[in-house]
Structure 1
Amino acid sequence: MTYRFFSLFACQLLLAVACALMGAPARAADGIDITRATIEAGDDGYRLNTAYEFELNHGLKDAIQHGVQLHFTTEIELTRPRWWWRDEKAVELKRTIRISYDVLTRQYHVMVMGSFQQSFQTFDEAMFMIRRPTRWLIAPKGKLKPGETYEVSLRMYMDREYLQKPLQVNAFNDSDWRLTSNRKTFNYRAE
């Protein structure tokens, strides 16, 4: 009986926080701009070097301050066109970066999912890590055919799939929580 009461209370509390956060305007500034996107060949393979330009508005910053973790996902595809058959998808990957705030330590944490986490004293330092992520190994050496030209398709978005369920329902219905870039395409000649 006590567990059921506590569980019901926790759900009501979470729903109240979600409603309060959704009530605050969370309008994204102008979306995400991809300001740099290049592929660099190295000894270990091919790395994506990117830079993004975007701001989180007051509502999204407030959500982070209240314990909501925001996730930013980058998708990349490398396709090799073929005239005699369907295009070959050489690379199709996603990488997600999470930003969170710890009230006890008063630090922001940025984590590349499945990899490393760094802590920062200020919000701006943490956002710099998201806007200028580390070079990402997208293909090992030998995966791409040297001399062949690949069409690269890239985009970044705030991934609402990672939000807690009560927030997720409201975020999918609220256009203010849609922060995304246009798909950027360019050609890359493999080395």
Structure 2
Amino acid sequence: MTDSSTRSLRSAALSLLLALALAAGALAGTAIRNAELAATEDAVTLSAEIAIEVPAALEEAVARGVPLYFVLEFELTRPRWYWFDETVAARTLTYRLSYHALTRQYRLSTGALHQSFATLDEAVAVMSRLRDWPVAERAALASGTTYTAGLRLRLDSARLPKPIQVGAIGAPEWSLGSEWLRWPFPMERAAK
């Protein structure tokens, strides 16, 4: 190898490491802090605390009228030794975060529920707390079985306007999302 090709390889490796570090840093801004499942008489509900740090680029985009869609994904699987894990329940919850310049308020929507807030921080605080979200029917779960629950939050970049999607490719500030948090959920036997 010549000196120039060695320098090129080192430069490429350094660039790759820097890009990975930036991407990891962007993902570190959002994390699932705490999540727990509770079994009621007819359902299994999820409560969670999520740490969300919105990068400056996303704050500016919302302030300029670009709606942001965040997707909370949940899955409950049953491990199988002979095949892939069986997905027992999978749910998603979509948040739409927007800003209305006329009223100078941020709006957070999930389904038919719409809430208005004076600041972005207030809207993000509501999005970061989840309480008693029904994620599975209790009848679908076998007593005495330990399941694996998984939860993550991510920015749905596919729902951004097309010109922003093109500019967001590979940009760490547009890669907001958490890693999957996975934990065991033992389904207790019913008391007799």
Same fold (TM over 0.5): yes
Give, in angstroms, the shift of residue 43 of structure 1.
3.3
Structure 1 residue aligned with 2:147? 150
User: Which has the higher Rg, Structure 1 or Structure 2?
Assistant: 2
Partner of 1:20: none
Which of 118, 134, 137 does residue 134 from structure 2 map onto? 137
Letter in 1 for 2:181: K
Is the aligned partner of 1:171 residue 2:159? no
Among residues 40, 59, 62, which one is paired with 1:61 in the alignment? 59
CA distance in 2: counterparts of 1:182 and 1:85, whole angstroms: 24
Asked whether 1:118 is paired with 2:128, we answer no
Gaps of at least 5 residues in structure 2 are 1-24
Distance 1:115 1:190, change over 3 A: farther
Closer, same or farther: CA 28–175 of 1 in aligned 2, 3 Å:
closer
Contact 2:57 2:173 (8 Å CA) reproduced: no
Q: Which residue of 2 aligns with 1:22?
A: none
* Partner amino acid, structure 1, of 2:100: D
Mapping of residues 171-190 of structure 1, within 5 Å: 171-190=168-187
Instruction: Please tell me the root mean square deviation across aligned C-alpha atoms, in Å.
Output: 1.9
Counterpart selection for 2:73 from 54, 72, 75: 75
From 75, 85, 88, the counterpart of 2:86: 88
CA–CA separation in structure 1 for the residues paired with 2:114 and 2:89: 25
- TM-score normalised by structure 2 residue count: 0.78
Please say if 1:128 is aligned against 2:100: no
Question: Bigger CA drift: 165-174 or 65-74?
Answer: 165-174
% identical aligned pairs: 38
SS at match of 1:135: strand
Pairwise mapping of residues 9-24 of structure 1 onto structure 2 (< 5 A)?
none
Q: Is the 8 A contact 2:74 2:152 kept in 1?
A: yes
CA contact (8 A) 2:27 2:179 kept: no
Superposition TM-score, scaled by structure 1 size: 0.78
Shift of 1:59: 2.0
Tell me the equivalent position of 1:48: 46
Structure 2 equivalent of residue 33 of structure 1: 31
Gaps of 5+ in 1: 1-26
State the shift of 1:47 in Å: 1.1
Corresponding position of 1:106: 104
* SS of 1:168 mapped into structure 2: helix
Q: Distance in 2 between matches of 1:165 and 1:87?
A: 36
**Counterpart position of 2:20:** none
Structure 1 stretches of 4+ moved >4 Å: none
SS at match of 1:43: coil
1:60-104 Cα offsets, whole Å, 9 max, x none, are 111111001111111121111123444221012222111111111
